[in-house]
Amino acid sequence: MTLERVSYTLDSTLDSVNKAEQAAEQLAARMPFEEEDCHRIAMAVREAAVNAVLHGNAYDPGKKMTVSFENTGKALVIKISDQGRGLRDEDIPNPLAEENLLKQSGRGIFLIRSFMDEVRIRHLQPGTEITLVKHIGQSSGTATEGTQ
């Protein structure tokens, strides 16, 4: 049973990233999440939205980012998609590998996985969709990974 569902189609701008982050934090705050988890959810959405706008759509004004939030009563399910060239889970470098430790980027997916309970990445035609799930009553740090 869905208690609340909202969806936004946004431009490929940093302003849109801010809107997605604010919407995530506001919805999470209305759910029975602790304040720390609300911040973690918002940060995970920000990271995923930055990836969609920057890496996926490359700030292309002709491409959009779609963000949806669903309160199922048991979890908050967030989907963020872009219209870029696509990203495959196996192409994401391990930020903890020695050759990647000093790189300036590449930690977004790692952070998202540490803040959420489930993270799934799906290749679209075109683009990428990332699904973030935070279960009510579970603390962060128990992420499961998977690709659909």
- 11: containing domain: 4-91+109-141
Domain presence at residue 136: yes
Domain presence at residue 39: yes
Domain presence at residue 98: no
Give me the number of domains the chain comprises.
1
Please state the pTM of the whole predicted model.
0.84
Domain presence at residue 146: no
The three-point CA angle 3-112-74 to 5° equals 25
Domain presence at residue 97: no
- The CATH number covering residue 39 comes to 3.30.565.10
- pLDDT tens sequence for the chain (148 residues): 668 899 999 999 999 999 999 999 999 999 999 999 999 999 999 999 999 999 899 999 999 999 999 999 999 999 999 999 866 555 665 655 566 555 555 567 888 999 999 999 999 989 999 999 999 987 654 444 443 3
